[in-house]
């Protein structure tokens, strides 16, 4: 649910009070703030590439979804110094997303 933080915290507290009054676990509900990663994932949820735009500090940020299997294919990404940049290029009056990924050793 997207609620103001204060409202979400009040609802979680009410649920927890309800649970305790009925003999249940005291922490059945909690509030987790959305991270930029979550907001980016949600913005691209319906796009076939998982691409969506969010705003951070007044700047539009393009987020592209990744799956764990893709991280394996691309040899673990950033932690191993392998980051594959995205660029937006103007082609025939449209914005085209270009993603340059070198071929795997078995594909060369």
Its pTM surpasses 0.85: no
The tens digit of pLDDT for each residue in 13-59 reads 999 999 999 999 888 999 988 788 788 888 888 888 788 888 888 88
User: Which candidate, 76, 34, 36, places its Cα nearest to that of 52?
Assistant: 36
| Strand 94-99 relative to strand 86-91, pairing | antiparallel
The tens digit of pLDDT for each residue in 53-83 reads 888 888 888 888 776 665 555 554 555 555 5
Do residues 26 and 17 lie in contact, with contact meaning Cβ atoms separated by under 8 Å? Answer: no
Tokens at 59, concatenated: 């700047």
DSSP 8-state class, residue 27: -
Q: Up-side HSE of residue 40: CA atoms within 13 Å toward CB?
A: 13
49 vs 52: CA distance, rounded Å: 9
């Amino acid at each position: 649910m997207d609620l103001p933080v204060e409202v979400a915290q009040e609802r979680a507290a009410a649920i927890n009070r309800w649970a305790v009054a009925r003999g249940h676990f005291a922490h059945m509900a909690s509030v987790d703030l959305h991270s930029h990663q979550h907001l980016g994932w949600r913005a691209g949820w319906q796009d076939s590439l998982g691409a969506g735009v969010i705003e951070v500090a007044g700047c539009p940020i393009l987020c592209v979804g990744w799956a764990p299997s893709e991280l394996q294919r691309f040899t673990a990404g950033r932690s191993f110094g392998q980051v594959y940049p995205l660029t937006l290029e103007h082609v025939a009056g449209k914005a085209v997303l270009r993603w340059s990924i070198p071929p795997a050793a078995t594909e060369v």
